[in-house]
Amino acid sequence: MWSPSARFSTLALVAIVAPATIVAVLGWVSIRQWEASSELLYREQARDMATMAAEKVEMMLRHAEDAVLDRLQGALDADTPPARAVDDLLAHAPLVRRLYLIGQRGELLYPRAWKDGDAAIFGPLVAEAAKGKFERSGKREVVAGNQVCLAMLVRRGGEPVVAAFIRDPDTLRREIFETTLGALESSIIIAVLDHAGRTVYSRAPIGDAQHVLSVRFRETLPDWRLAVYQASGAAPRQAVRRQVMLFTGAFGVLVAVIVAGIATTWRLMRRETEMTRLKSDFVANVSHDLKTPLSVIRMFGETLEMGRVTDEGKRREYYRVITRESERLSRLIDNVLDFSRIEGGRQTYEMTPTAVEPLIRGTLEAFTYPLAQQGFKVDVDVASDLPDVVMDADAVGQALANLIDNAIKYSGDERALAVDARVVEGRLVIAVIDRGLGIATTEHAKIFEKFYRVGRSDTQGRRGSGVGLALVRHIVEAHRGDVTVESAPGEGSRFTLRLPLARERDG
């Protein structure tokens, strides 16, 4: 069965994490839809812009070429030979790199000879264009191949003439592409690609930019394309993905904080529950420990009061029992009161130079009757050269008494107790050694915690308040010392108190 704290923590976890998960899923779906919609919208906008830019390029190129052809037509209509007028026209038309005028029968009218092997390029194109087309009147442009342009003109007298020319690539880039595309305000990169996919013009370095789409030019630049690129890291999908990662990270942190908070609350509640149980056990154990000596004192006192014991030796024994149980009761009450003062931060210690051997022997004397009654062999070894040590004699005596009482309470078949005191490395070292049940290594640190009791079956019948060793540690640490334990199950225990000497405390 789950404890109330566990049920509460589980419900709290479900109540918080479940809605948070639903919100996260809905947010994720919305972001994915936003990603798809934004990418679609972006592509549509990019295509519209690319189409408009391509049309603008073609319009400017057509206007530039029309201006050249109009001037060329004017030269053909003049009375004077056209050669000089054509030379003057070409000098002021940087867009045209080379120009040829071919008659109806294929004869070269201008210039007088082909240049740089142009006959192999222009001849077939002119012948193809002339087939069945010279009968038509008016002006007509034909564009084919790599920047080879054909246009039908009419000489004076109505004789058709084919004008064939090559565009100058530098002028095309500078006066057409740069003028038209360079002024566009956009975060995207626009490039013009030729029929082989080579970059003829780019508004900015392409580098590792992502290709978005391409649109084809029409009559003026057949087989050429205007391409749209997006700089690396600036694509809508990547921007949305960054938002998704940010959202996911924030949500993960939120869930981690929630889970950590619930786990902490759960641990605190479990600790509180455990402390409540331990306090309840403490009250029960203390009540039992109080009741036992009180019952013994009452029983022996009533027996003496009623005069049922006539033997003087027996009466003396009864008096010793009453005294022993009274001392035991006083120790228990002192433990509880001292523990209460420590918990409330009110415990104080009176430090005075104290002789060590009388303190040890006086503490052992209070246990003379139970040690003798249970058949303990007691060995006391106190170094003769011990100096007086600044301490609270009552507190240190109480710590020793708790250790001796535990040695008696948790004794085994071999009843032996030893107390050893000497100076080691400039510190007073007092050891209490027994041959009792012993303590597992895993519990050495826990036994000094308040309310903790060793949870073995062979100790369950030996009741205790659970604060004795906690008091020992507090007393020793208040004297700027420490307490350690060496023990193993079935091998007894050795508790060692280490206290600084008077000259070390003064220093």
Q: What is the pLDDT of residues 257-276, one digit of tens each?
A: 777 777 777 777 777 776 66
Could you give the maximum distance between any two Cα atoms of the chain, in Å? Answer: 170
Does 341 score more than 80 pLDDT? no
Residue 138: pLDDT band (50, 70, 90) is: very low
- Cα within 13 Å of Cα(459), Cβ side: 20
pLDDT the model gives residue 293: 72
- CA dist., res. 225 & res. 242, Å (int): 32
Residue 186, SS3? coil
Tokens 């009654």 correspond to what residue? 373
- CA dist., res. 127 & res. 105, Å (int): 9
Buried b (16+ CB within 10 A) or exposed e, 301-313: eeeeeeeeeeeee
- C-beta atoms surrounding 215 within 10 Å: 19
User: What are the structural domain ranges in the chain?
Assistant: 349-506
| Amino acid, res. 31 | I
- CA dist., res. 217 & res. 187, Å (int): 22
pLDDT the model gives residue 456: 46
Residue 417: pLDDT band (50, 70, 90) is: very high
DSSP letter, residue 173: I
Residue 87: pLDDT band (50, 70, 90) is: confident
| CATH 3.40.640.10 holds for 349-506 | no
- Partners of 486 in the β-ladder: 494
Among the residue ranges 179-183, 406-410, 420-424, the one predicted with the least confidence is 179-183
- C-beta atoms surrounding 206 within 10 Å: 15
Does this model's pTM top 0.85? My answer is: no
**Average pLDDT score, the chain:** 80
- CA dist., res. 247 & res. 308, Å (int): 88
What is the average pLDDT across 304-329?
Answer: 80
What is the average pLDDT across 480-491?
Answer: 93
Residue spans of beta strands (DSSP E) within 59-133: 96-102, 108-110
Q: Please report, for the chain, how many H helices and E strands are present, in that order.
A: 12, 16
- Cα within 13 Å of Cα(402), Cβ side: 30
The answer for residues whose C-beta is within 8 angstroms of residue 382's C-beta and 6 or more apart is 356, 357, 360, 361, 419, 420, 421, 422
| Amino acid, res. 51 | T
Residue spans of beta strands (DSSP E) within 130-276: 140-144, 148-154, 160-167, 189-193, 199-202, 210-216, 225-230
Does 280 score more than 70 pLDDT? no
pLDDT the model gives residue 329: 76
Q: Are strands 377-382 and 416-424 parallel, antiparallel or unpaired?
A: parallel
Among the residue ranges 127-141, 232-246, 477-491, the one predicted with the least confidence is 127-141
Residue 460: pLDDT band (50, 70, 90) is: very low
pLDDT the model gives residue 17: 64
Q: Quick check: 475 and 398 in contact, CB under 8 A?
A: yes
Task: Decide which of 271 and 458 is more confident.
Answer: 271
DSSP letter, residue 329: H
